[in-house]
Amino acid sequence: MADLVIRGGRRLSGRVDIEGNKNAALPLLVACLLTDQPCEIRNVPQIRDVTVMIRLLRSLGATVEGEGTSTLRVSCQSITTEEPDPALVGRLRGSVLLLGPLLGRTGRARLAPPGGDFANRRTISTHLQALVALGATVAASDAGHFLEAPHGLTGASMYLLEASVTGTETALLAAACAKGTTEIRHAACEPHVVEVCELLAKMGVEIAGIGTSTLTLRPPKTLGGATHTLRGDYIEAASWAVAAAVTGGDLDVRGVLAVDMEPITAVLAQMGLDFDLSDGHFVIRSSELHAVRRLTTNLWPGFPSDIVSLVTVLGTQAHGKTLVHDWMYELRLFALEQLSAMHADLFLCDPHRIIVTGKTQLRGRTLDSRDIRSGMALVAAALAADGESRVLEIETVERGYANLVERLTSLGADVERVERPVS
């Protein structure tokens, strides 16, 4: 276990290269289990969550080559068990994606309760709804989830009760190995869902409606191998942009598509951030920021919940009041209450709404990173603060941001990763 010590007040400047989309990497790696042919995924982010997923794939009988690099080659001629390692499942919410391929190839799936961020608040009801629609039955289990489809999955028409990203991905992965046509309505439309569709199409699945809320899949009798290069992670790009903006810095962010950034940069422009954006280049310049009256998260292509914590920190360095409304997750805003002890002017209206008033000079303190995104937001706040801060259990943030200390140092931050003695 380690903490990140940050001595704030330094401007971030220079260049940072964005890695592949974390939220696409996990379902694409799982998709490799659908076929007995080799698959290759490129531009894979070298983050902790990917490492856990690699170990999960190996526990099921897959061979994974290239660990520690940005190119992974996955081959799974046979799945050797219906139950992924429960300890690994408990560390990664994305492990729920394994249900579809396990049912498709073995007819059974046994999954311990998935872990990750907000594990007790995020159900998998949408995933189960999709799998049951495709013919799976949910059996009694003392712990976790046990599903059976002894005669295989069958294509179906379904309406998802929630436009869940991972729920949509679960439906896609299961439908790709089902017999017959599947139509999924009220599907999530995020760029990482699009990437799952693109890989499945390369494997031989006919897919109509990619990028829309209605997807129609016609799988072949046998899925083939495929190669796919991940798009740059637009949430990571926005995170670095905010970190630069709150420190008054200038930053050249490389490797992200402009169309993926648009829902975020539209808000950043409203707040007065001076930037240029084109495919592959996102250049941020020191700016005088001002508040927006109200900011509300929404389904894609609305403002993503994954960046709301960081923009709340940005609001502390903007003149005026902003009401931030995240109707999807309440715990991200609760995590930001710590900013009040840094002299931020915050008023938590309820679990989903917070009013932030700026501009305020933040002060260093000890902070608790509770999930990937709010953890990175607290890192950004500490970078802007006067004095020293300590972000506890930085491994949480490193699940989504590779080489965090090295990259911050290269941009001029004064940071140090300190191992905490095991008691």
Q: What is the identity of the amino acid at 128?
A: L
Residue with tokens 């990750």: 116
Q: What is the DSSP string of 175-237?
A: HHTSBS-EEEES----HHHHHHHHHHHHTT-EEE-TTSSEEEEE--SS----EEEPPB-HHHH
3-state secondary structure of 259: helix
Asked whether the predicted pLDDT for residue 115 surpasses 90, the reply is no
**Candidate list 117, 233, 306, 371, residue with the active-site label:** 117
Q: Considering only CA atoms, which of 192, 199, 193 is closest in space to residue 168? A: 193
Higher pLDDT, 369 or 402: 402
Of 215-219, 339-343, 370-374, 380-384, give the lowest mean pLDDT range. 370-374
Which domains can be identified in the chain, with CATH numbers? Answer: 2-18+233-419 (3.65.10.10), 22-229 (3.65.10.10)
How many angstroms separate the CA atoms of 1 and 422, rounded? 8
Summarised one tens digit per residue, pLDDT across range 375-388 is: 999 999 999 999 99
Classify each residue of 5-14 as buried b or exposed e, where b means 16 or more C-beta atoms within 10 Å of its C-beta.
Answer: bbbbbbbbbe
Asked whether the predicted pLDDT for residue 122 surpasses 80, the reply is no
State the average pLDDT over residues 32-52: 97
pLDDT of residue 118: 45
Asked whether the predicted pLDDT for residue 411 surpasses 60, the reply is yes
pLDDT of residue 120: 42
Place 351 in a pLDDT band, splitting at 50, 70 and 90.
confident
State the average pLDDT over residues 245-269: 97
pLDDT of residue 86: 94
How many contiguous H segments (helices) and E segments (strands) does the chain have? Answer: 14, 23
Name the strand (E) or helix (H) holding 74.
strand 72-75
pLDDT of residue 117: 52
State the average pLDDT over residues 229-244: 98
State the average pLDDT over residues 330-352: 87
Place 139 in a pLDDT band, splitting at 50, 70 and 90.
confident
pLDDT of residue 12: 98
Asked whether the predicted pLDDT for residue 354 surpasses 80, the reply is yes
- State the burial class of residue 350 (Cβ atoms within 10 Å of its Cβ: 0-12, 13-18, 19+): exposed
Distances (CA, A) of 76 to 31, 204, 374: 11, 17, 36
Place 26 in a pLDDT band, splitting at 50, 70 and 90.
very high
- Cis peptide leading into residue 114 (ω within 30°): no
Q: Encoding tokens for residue 387?
A: 């004095």
Known catalytic membership, residue 117 = yes
Asked whether the predicted pLDDT for residue 329 surpasses 80, the reply is no
Name the strand (E) or helix (H) holding 39.
strand 39-42
Place 119 in a pLDDT band, splitting at 50, 70 and 90.
very low
State the average pLDDT over residues 269-296: 97
Summarised one tens digit per residue, pLDDT across range 146-201 is: 999 999 999 999 999 999 999 999 999 999 999 999 999 999 999 999 999 999 99
Q: What is the identity of the amino acid at 124?
A: I
Average pLDDT, the chain: 94
pLDDT of residue 123: 79
